[in-house]
Structure 1
Amino acid sequence: MHKRLMFFTIGIGATVEDSIALAIQNYRPDHVVFFTTDGSREKVLPLVLAKLGWSLDSQTLFTVPTPAEFEDFDDVELLHIVYLRAMGQAFVAHNASSADAVVDFTSGTKAMSAALFSAAYEAGVEIINYVTGERSQGRVISGTGRMVTTRPRRLRARDSLREGLRLFNTGDYLAALHAANELAKVATPNLPHQGETRALLQTASAAFLAWDRFQIAEALEHLNALGTEHTELSGKALMGKKPREERKAHLYKIKNSPLCLERLAELVANAKRRDKHGNYDDALARLYRAIEYMAQLRLFEQFGLSTGEFPVDELPESMNKHVESGQQRCQLALQDSWKVLALRGDLCGQKFYELQERIKLLKALNARNNSILAHGFEPIDPVNLAVLREAIEELAIVGWGEERWHATLELCQFPKFKIDRMME
C-alpha cells in the first residue's frame, strides 16, 4: 500500500505553525517533507514541531533545506528543480505515489510557493492545499484557518485537451482519440465547456481516424454525430454544416460506388497524408494503387469493361497471345489496363505512355515493386512520389477536367480545429 507524503514550504512569519499543523491534522500523512530556508529552519521549524508534538528525528518527517546559493529565494526555476528532485527522491524512499501526495504552499516566500506549486504540477501530485482565514496584518489569525484545495488533474486536463487538439491538427487522429478518451475519465465540474470540447474532439477524432483508414461507413456515422450532437461547437471551431454535408455526400458516393472519381481522389489525398508524416512506403503504395485504380475507372466509365473479368474477345490482337485456348475472361494487370486504353484511343491511355517517356513514370512504378511492402527491400526515394503525383495530376485533368478533379480533391481535405476558439 502506498504511503501518503505531504510537502510544505516554510517561510518566516507569525502563526505559520498553526496553518501547517491544521493541514497535517487534516490529511494525516505518513511522512512530511519541509522545504526550508536557513532562517525558517532555525526559527520556525521548531515551532511547527512543537505544535505537532514531534521531534526533528521523528520517523514521520525529514527536511530539505534550501541550498545556500538561494539566499534571495527569487529564482523560481532553480527552486522548482530542487523541489521536484526532492519529491522524486521522497517517493522512492517511502514507496509513495504522487497520486497520494499533498502539497501545501501556505507558508514561504512567493518564489518558494510558486516553485512548489509548479513542481507539484509537473510531478503529478493530486492535491495542492492552501490555508486561509481571517487575517491581521496579512497573517491568518490563529483558530480561523480553513483549507482551500486545488486538484491539478483538472488543470492538467486543460493542457491535455490542448495537446489532443494539436495532435488532431497534425493528423495523428489515433493519439488525439486516446487523449480524448483519457480526458473523459477526469471530472471537471467547474469547466462544463471543457467537457463539451473534449466530446467534440472524441467524435471528430473517431470520424477522421475511420476516414483515414478507408472505413467509410464508420466515418459517416461519426460525421452524422458531429451534426446532431456537436452542431454549435463544431460549426464554431471545426467546420460548419455546408462543408460537413458536402463531405458526407462525397463519402456516400464512395460507399455506394466501388468505381468512382471520389475514391480515386481519396487514394491520392491519403497518400499525401502518409507522405507528410514521412511514411514514404505507405504513400507510394497508395499512389501506385491510384494509378492502377484510375485505369480501372477509365475502362469502366468509357467502355463498360472490368479489369477483373475482362472479355478475351475485347483484347487487342497484340495482347491475346498469352490467353489460353477457350478462355473467355481474363484479368488485366496495371500495364495491360493502360495499354488497352491507349489502343482504344482513350486520351488518358495515350497520356500514360507520353508520361512514361517524359517523366520516367515506369521507373517510379517499379520503385513500388522493389520496396519492402511489395517484392523487394529498397527504401523509397521521395522523388518517385513526386513523379507519381505529377502523373496522376496530369492524367486526372485529361480524364475528368481540372475543375472537377480539384473540386473532388478538396472534399478529401481534413479540417483543423481552431484551437484558440476551442479553449476560450
Structure 2
Amino acid sequence: MDRVLFMTVGTGTGTSEDRIRSLAHGLFQSITNKRPDKIVFFGSEMSKKTVEYIKEEAEAQGKDLPEYKFIEILDIDGVKELFDKFEEQMKIYGDQEVIIDYTSGTKTMTSIAFVMGILYRKELSVITGFRDRNGTVQSGTESNIEQNTYQIYDKLNIRRFKELFNHGRFETALQILENDVVNHERKEAYIKLTRAYLHWDLFEHEEALDYLNSDEVNSLEELEDVIKRNKSILGEIISSRNGRRKYKYRPFLPDLLANSRRRASEGRYDDAAARLYRALELIAQILIEEEYGDETDSINPDKYAMSTRAALKLDGKKHLALKNAYRLLECEGHDVGRAFGKDNEILDLLRIRNHSILAHGFESVNGEQYERFYDKVLEYARMIDERIDSKIDNATFPRL
C-alpha cells in the first residue's frame, strides 16, 4: 500500500522570495517526516512556484522529491471546486494510506482539506513553529503535529447513534456505539439504554427492565422521568406475565399501541397494522377475562346467557376469533360489543388489514389507512380504559 501525501500549497504571507522559501522549507520538512511514496499538491497557478522551491529544498538537502502531481485550483476560495477536486483525488487514492497536510493555503483550502480528512478518516498533519508577525513559521523552528481526531469522530458517531435510536433502529445504533465510538463519557450508559429498548421493541420485557435498572442508565438524569414511567409499565407487564396480577391482559394494550406507532414512524405500515389488529383483539380479550374469567381460545359456554350461546353456537368449549369475540360482548350487552356490531368503518379497516401481505393478501397498507385504523382502535381502547392515552405515553420510548 502506497503512502500518499495530500498537501495544500499557498505562497506564504506576502510575495517576498524569502517568505516563499521559508514556507517551502517547512513543507519539505513535512514531506521528509511523512516519507510518502506519492504527493498530490493542491494550489493555484501561483503556488507552482512554491512547489519549485520545495524541489530546490530537496536538492539542497541531497534528497529526491517523491513522484508528485499538481492539482490546480482556479478559485482558491471556492468551496465547491475545492471539494470536488479533493474528492476526485480521494476516489483515486482513497484505498491507499492517505495523509493530509493542511499547513499552507487559503483558509478555505486548508478548511476543506481538514474536512476531507474527517469525512474520509485520514491522518491529518500540520506544521507549526515560531511565527513572525505575518504568521509565517520561521525556517528552522518547524515541528510536525499529527492531529488526534477521535474526539471529533466520537461526536459525529454519537450524533448518528442518537438519530438511529430516535428512529427505532436500535441494532444499528448499538453497532455504532460498540464499534465506532472510542472514548465517549456516556458510551456504556448509551449501550445499556439501547439494549433495553431493543429488547423491549422485541417484547422481551424482563431483559429490558434489567437494563433500565442499571446504574449506567440511571445516570442519564435528563431521561429520569420518561424512564421512570417506562419502568412502571414494564413492571406491570412482567407481573402479568408471571401470574402476579388477578387479570393479565390489560397492561399489554398500551404497549402494543405504542409499538404500533413506532412501526408506523418507520413507514412500516403493514407491521404497524398487524399490531393494531392484535390490539383490537386484545380489547375483547380483556373484557372477557375480567368480566367472565374466560379465555377466547377456549370459551366456556356455561358462563354466558342462553341467547349468547345460541347466537354463537356455543355447544362446547370453542375458540373465538376477533369478530366473534366482539359478537359475544354484543350479545352480553357490553357497549364496546354493540359499538363494534354497528361499526362499518372498522369492518372496512379489517378488510384492508386482511388483504395486507402480512395477513392474507398481497396489498400494502398505506399511511392514511394506518392512521384511520389507529384512531379507530384507540377509540375502542378508550371505551374500556379512560386512562389509555397516558398509559400509551408511559410505553413510549424516549428521544435523545
Q: Normalising by the residue count of structure 2, what TM-score does the alignment of the two structures yield? A: 0.87
For 2:239, the aligned partner's letter is N
For 1:52, the aligned partner's letter is A
2: distance between equivalents of 1:384 and 1:115?
47
Q: Displacement of 1:171 after TM fit?
A: 3.0
Are 1:9 and 2:8 counterparts? yes
The partner residue of 2:83 within 68, 74, 80 is 80
Q: Retained in 1: the 8 A contact 2:103–2:126?
A: yes
Report matched runs for 1:243-392 at 5 Å: 243-258=226-241, 259-314=248-303, 316-319=308-311, 321=313, 323=315, 328-354=316-342, 356-357=343-344, 360-392=345-377
Q: Retained in 1: the 8 A contact 2:5–2:100?
A: yes
Deviations 1:361-413 (A, max 9, x none): 1121122222111111122244543443233233222222x2x2222122112
Task: Evaluate the alpha carbon distance shift between residue 211 and residue 142 of structure 1 in structure 2; reply closer, same or farther with a 3 A threshold.
Answer: same
- Partner of residue 60, structure 1: 66
Q: Retained in 1: the 8 A contact 2:102–2:125?
A: yes
- Partner of residue 115, structure 1: 112
Task: Evaluate the alpha carbon distance shift between residue 16 and residue 387 of structure 1 in structure 2; reply closer, same or farther with a 3 A threshold.
Answer: closer
2: distance between equivalents of 1:139 and 1:353?
85
Task: Evaluate the alpha carbon distance shift between residue 395 and residue 60 of structure 1 in structure 2; reply closer, same or farther with a 3 A threshold.
Answer: same
2: distance between equivalents of 1:16 and 1:365?
75
Q: Retained in 2: the 8 A contact 1:81–1:119?
A: no
Q: Displacement of 1:35 after TM fit?
A: 1.9
Q: Displacement of 1:111 after TM fit?
A: 2.8
SS of the residue aligned with 2:397?
coil
Q: Retained in 2: the 8 A contact 1:80–1:118?
A: no
Task: Evaluate the alpha carbon distance shift between residue 229 and residue 107 of structure 1 in structure 2; reply closer, same or farther with a 3 A threshold.
Answer: same
For structure 2, the 5+ residue unaligned runs are: 12-19, 242-247
The partner residue of 1:231 within 180, 198, 218 is 218
For 1:133, the aligned partner's letter is G
1: distance between equivalents of 2:92 and 2:47?
22
Q: Displacement of 1:248 after TM fit?
A: 1.1
Q: Retained in 2: the 8 A contact 1:77–1:115?
A: no
Task: Evaluate the alpha carbon distance shift between residue 409 and residue 87 of structure 1 in structure 2; reply closer, same or farther with a 3 A threshold.
Answer: closer
Q: Displacement of 1:212 after TM fit?
A: 1.8
2: distance between equivalents of 1:36 and 1:317?
89
The partner residue of 2:33 within 18, 26, 31 is 26
- Partner of residue 105, structure 1: 102
The partner residue of 1:134 within 92, 105, 130 is 130
2: distance between equivalents of 1:244 and 1:123?
37
SS of the residue aligned with 1:414?
coil
Q: Retained in 1: the 8 A contact 2:227–2:398?
A: no
Task: Evaluate the alpha carbon distance shift between residue 264 and residue 74 of structure 1 in structure 2; reply closer, same or farther with a 3 A threshold.
Answer: same
Task: Evaluate the alpha carbon distance shift between residue 181 and residue 302 of structure 1 in structure 2; reply closer, same or farther with a 3 A threshold.
Answer: same
2: distance between equivalents of 1:381 and 1:399?
28
2: distance between equivalents of 1:111 and 1:376?
58
2: distance between equivalents of 1:108 and 1:243?
51
For 2:327, the aligned partner's letter is K
For 1:128, the aligned partner's letter is L
1: distance between equivalents of 2:356 and 2:8?
61
User: RMSD in angstroms over aligned alpha carbons?
Assistant: 2.5
Which one is further off, 168-177 or 139-148? Answer: 168-177
Deviations 1:109-165 (A, max 9, x none): 33322222223323331x111111123343222222111221444323312211221
Task: Evaluate the alpha carbon distance shift between residue 45 and residue 320 of structure 1 in structure 2; reply closer, same or farther with a 3 A threshold.
Answer: closer
Deviations 1:277-301 (A, max 9, x none): 2211111111111111111111001
Are 1:413 and 2:396 counterparts? yes
For 2:221, the aligned partner's letter is G
Are 1:38 and 2:45 counterparts? yes
Task: Evaluate the alpha carbon distance shift between residue 52 and residue 87 of structure 1 in structure 2; reply closer, same or farther with a 3 A threshold.
Answer: farther
SS of the residue aligned with 2:42?
strand
The partner residue of 2:210 within 215, 221, 225 is 221
2: distance between equivalents of 1:155 and 1:148?
17
For 2:309, the aligned partner's letter is E
Deviations 1:230-255 (A, max 9, x none): 434x113xx11x44233212112112
Q: Retained in 2: the 8 A contact 1:19–1:106?
A: no
1: distance between equivalents of 2:303 and 2:5?
83
2: distance between equivalents of 1:218 and 1:38?
64
Task: Evaluate the alpha carbon distance shift between residue 144 and residue 387 of structure 1 in structure 2; reply closer, same or farther with a 3 A threshold.
Answer: closer
Are 1:180 and 2:168 counterparts? no
Q: Normalising by the residue count of structure 1, what TM-score does the alignment of the two structures yield? A: 0.82
Q: Retained in 1: the 8 A contact 2:230–2:397?
A: no
SS of the residue aligned with 2:108?
helix
For 1:37, the aligned partner's letter is S
Task: Evaluate the alpha carbon distance shift between residue 393 and residue 10 of structure 1 in structure 2; reply closer, same or farther with a 3 A threshold.
Answer: closer
Task: Evaluate the alpha carbon distance shift between residue 74 and residue 230 of structure 1 in structure 2; reply closer, same or farther with a 3 A threshold.
Answer: same
Task: Evaluate the alpha carbon distance shift between residue 262 and residue 112 of structure 1 in structure 2; reply closer, same or farther with a 3 A threshold.
Answer: same
Q: Retained in 1: the 8 A contact 2:326–2:340?
A: yes
For 1:183, the aligned partner's letter is D
